[in-house]
Amino acid sequence: MPARPPAQAKLILASASPRRRDLLAQIGLTPDAIDPAELDETPQPRELPLDYVRRLAEAKALAVAARHAGGFVLAADTVVAVGRRILPKAETEAEARACLALLSGHRHKVIGGLCLIAPDGRRVVRVVTTAVTFKRLSDEELRCYIASGEWQGKAGGYAVQGLAAIFVAQLVGSYTNVVGLDLHMAYKLLAGHGYPCLAPG
């Protein structure tokens, strides 16, 4: 068992993503602070999706830990990958259409990187992969989905927790990883480093 950290050790979520905050709330965790890292998220030339999420999750955690000594700092990064290709976070309709055209009728991977920095400075990075298969999208489905606007700011141009759930023919692995934070791994990292995830009683 790891040594229990001081009772006042705070939980810092290094993320601007409301999805990650909501996911933590689902398991009864409310961060003491939400402090997004705001880094340049451009992939390096020929960077593989797995390397990219590891690098980003770690960089986000390190940037934020510098401002919160003695806390538990949790950071994450999510990408949608088609083979070695990292799809963008869709910011325009054209980007969302291009992503959905690649995903339609095919299997892709959602890769999530998590990094925890514990109060004693120990740092752990983990990667979780989920395989998702989309049905073949009709023109009408594509049009409705683009009109929904739910693709905005989402890795790969969709959000499984919304309307896009109807496109998912199969999902193998962690659902919460696709939404933005694998809760099993987040719990394992936090509890494993002595954060009191389970409220007494």
Ligand X SMILES: Cc1cn([C@H]2C[C@H](O)[C@@H](COP(=O)(O)OP(=O)(O)OP(=O)(O)O)O2)c(=O)[nH]c1=O
Question: Is 32 considered catalytic here?
Answer: no
Strand partners, 127: 113
DSSP 8-class letter at 68 = S
- Contact status, residue 79 vs residue 47, Cβ threshold 8 Å: no
Structure tokens at 70: 């003695």
Distance CA 14, CA 120 (A): 17
Nearer to ligand X among residue 117 and residue 160 (C-beta): 160
> What gap in Å lies between CA 86 and CA 127, rounded to an integer?
15
Kindly state the smallest distance separating residue 121's Cβ from ligand X, in Å: 22
Q: How far is the CB of 7 from ligand X (least distance, A)?
A: 27
45-104: which residues touch ligand X (CB under 6 A)? 76-78, 80, 89
- Give first-to-last CA distance, the chain, whole Å: 20
* Cβ–Cβ under 8 Å, residues 75 and 16: no
The active-site residue, picked from 35, 40, 51, 77, is: 77
Closer to ligand X by CB, 134 or 194: give it.
134
Q: Least distance (Å) from ligand X to the CB of residue 164?
A: 7
The SS3 assignment for 123 reads strand
Residue 110 contacts residue 132 (beta carbons within 8 Å): yes
Q: Which of residues 141-200 bind ligand X (CB under 6 A)?
A: 154-156, 158-161, 178-180
**Site track for ligand X across 106-145, x = CB under 6 A:** ----x-----------------------------------
Catalytic residues: 77
Contacts with ligand X, residue ranges (CB under 6 A): 15-17, 19, 36, 41, 76-78, 80, 89, 110, 154-156, 158-161, 178-180
